[in-house]
Structure formats: C-alpha cells, structure tokens
C-alpha cells in the first residue's frame, strides 16, 4: 500500500512537470491546450475505475451480505463521482477555448452528464432508506444498474453518431493521429498516478466512515 502511495506521488510530480515542459504536437485551434489531455482525461479514467470498484463491491455485498462491502461501494461511488465532476468542469473550460462554448449538445457530453445524474440519484436513493440492510440491498442493485448504464452512455452511444469530442463518431480520437509517443510518455503515467490518487483518497475516506460507524 505504501509503495503505491510513493508511486502515486512520483507519477503525479512527473506528469505535472513533464506535462508542462515536454514538447507536444503543434495543432491548430488546440495549441498549448493539448496539455489539458494529461489532466482532463485521467479524471475520467479514475472515475470509471473507482465506479467499477464500487459496482464490484456492490456485487460482493449482494452475494455475501457483509455491510462493510456496502460501505466500500458507497465510498468508491462517492470519490468516483467527485472525479467525474472534476472531469466535467475541466472539459467545459477546455471546450470554451477550443469549441467556443462551455457546453454543446454533444452525445459524449450529454452521455457523461446523464451518467453522473444517475449516480447523483444513487446517493439520493441511498440516503432515503433508513434500514441499514435494506439500504445496502437497494443501493447495491441500483449501483450495478448505474454502472452498466454508464458504459453505454459514455463509451458506446457517442461512438455511434457524430461527435465533436475526440474518439467518437466521425472524429478520430487522439490515439488515431496524434496520441504519439510524445503524448504517451506523459499521458499513461498521469492516468496511473491519478487512479492511485483516487484509490488513496477513497481508502482514507473509507477508514473515516468505518470509524464513524463504530462510534
């Protein structure tokens, strides 16, 4: 666990400094904002990873009935959605300076917004049930449903139509023409670094929740 935290610090320190200093492809419109790729996209990777862990924990709760899995599932969803919100905000600012507007009715953008709203209602649903085990069961089932809705909303539906967002529709993603080795040597460490940071924060928050439950 400790080695992962040290790795997280090293990778993020590296990706922040290399993300600003290293050469990037010179592209029209994007200009220097291509560096946002190193920080905006890892937010979504981290969100997906944490929400995946959340649905796994929800499944484990349903099959074992152990309430600590339910708490874990809730906690992962919480941190995952937090990263998702950071992803939306960073994406909106990036969009303002490249597409000219904060929000367009783009399938990728709306898909991610709907996906996040599904998770917001997860928290509402969860907090509206008083009984502990009933709360766990209902929210776990909903959690698995929410994750299986999120995947088509973010990864499948936007690819079926035209989209401004790279990686979808008729618009090739960064990896097709310019996620070259220049970008990769910063992008992948940043993704791993932010995922480790997400796990770290989730771990701390889980321990606080557990201590609070014991009181």
Partner 1 sequence: MINCMVILFLLLQDIAMADVLRSEGKIYVVVLIFLIIISGLFLYLYRLEKKIDSIEKEK
| The only residue of 101, 105, 131, 211 in contact with partner 1, by rule CB under 8 A | 211
By CB under 8 A, tell whether 185 contacts partner 1: no
With contacts defined by CB under 8 A, how many residues of the chain interact with partner 1?
14
Is residue 73 within 8 A of residue 55, CB to CB? The reply is yes
By CB under 8 A, tell whether 201 contacts partner 1: yes
Distances (CA, A) of 85 to 70, 75, 88, 90: 23, 16, 5, 9
Question: Tokens representing 212?
Answer: 């609070």
What is the footprint of partner 1 within residues 62-81 (CB under 8 A)? Answer: none
31 in the Ramachandran plot: left (φ > 0), alpha (ψ -120 to 50) or beta?
left
Question: Tokens representing 41?
Answer: 């996209």
By CB under 8 A, tell whether 36 contacts partner 1: no
| The only residue of 21, 23, 28, 105 in contact with partner 1, by rule CB under 8 A | 21
63/5 Cα distance (integer angstroms):
31
Stretch that binds partner 1, among 14-22, 94-102, 133-141, 164-172 (CB under 8 A): 14-22
Stretch that binds partner 1, among 58-66, 119-127, 149-157, 199-207 (CB under 8 A): 199-207
Is residue 84 within 8 A of residue 47, CB to CB? The reply is yes
Stretch that binds partner 1, among 15-23, 48-56, 86-94, 179-187 (CB under 8 A): 15-23
By CB under 8 A, tell whether 17 contacts partner 1: yes
Angle 132-151/67-98 helices, nearest 10 degrees? 40
Could you tell me the smallest distance in angstroms from the CB atom of residue 214 to partner 1?
A: 7
How far, in whole angstroms, is CA 121 from its chain's centroid?
A: 17
By CB under 8 A, tell whether 200 contacts partner 1: yes
Residues that bind partner 1 (CB under 8 A): 9, 12-13, 16-17, 20-21, 200-201, 204, 207-208, 211, 214
């Amino acid at each position: 666990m400790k080695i992962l935290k040290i790795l997280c610090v090293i990778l993020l320190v590296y990706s922040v400094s290399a993300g600003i200093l290293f050469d990037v492809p010179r592209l029209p419109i994007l200009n220097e904002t291509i560096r946002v790729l190193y920080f905006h996209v890892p937010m979504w990777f981290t969100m997906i990873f944490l929400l995946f862990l959340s649905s796994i924990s929800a499944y484990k709760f349903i099959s074992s009935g152990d309430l600590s899995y339910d708490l874990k599932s809730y906690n992962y969803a919480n941190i995952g959605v937090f990263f998702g919100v950071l992803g939306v905000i960073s994406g909106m600012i990036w969009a303002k300076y490249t597409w000219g507007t904060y929000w367009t009715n783009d399938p990728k953008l709306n898909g991610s917004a709907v996906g996040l709203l599904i998770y917001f209602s997860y928290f509402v649903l969860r907090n509206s049930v008083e009984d502990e085990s009933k709360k766990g069961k209902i929210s776990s089932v909903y959690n698995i449903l929410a994750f299986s809705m999120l995947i088509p909303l973010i990864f499948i539906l936007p690819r079926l139509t035209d989209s401004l967002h790279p990686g979808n529709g008729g618009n090739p993603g960064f990896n097709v023409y310019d996620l070259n080795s220049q970008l990769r040597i910063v992008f992948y460490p940043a993704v791993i670094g932010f995922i480790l940071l997400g796990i770290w924060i989730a771990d701390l928050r889980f321990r606080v929740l557990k201590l609070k439950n014991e009181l």
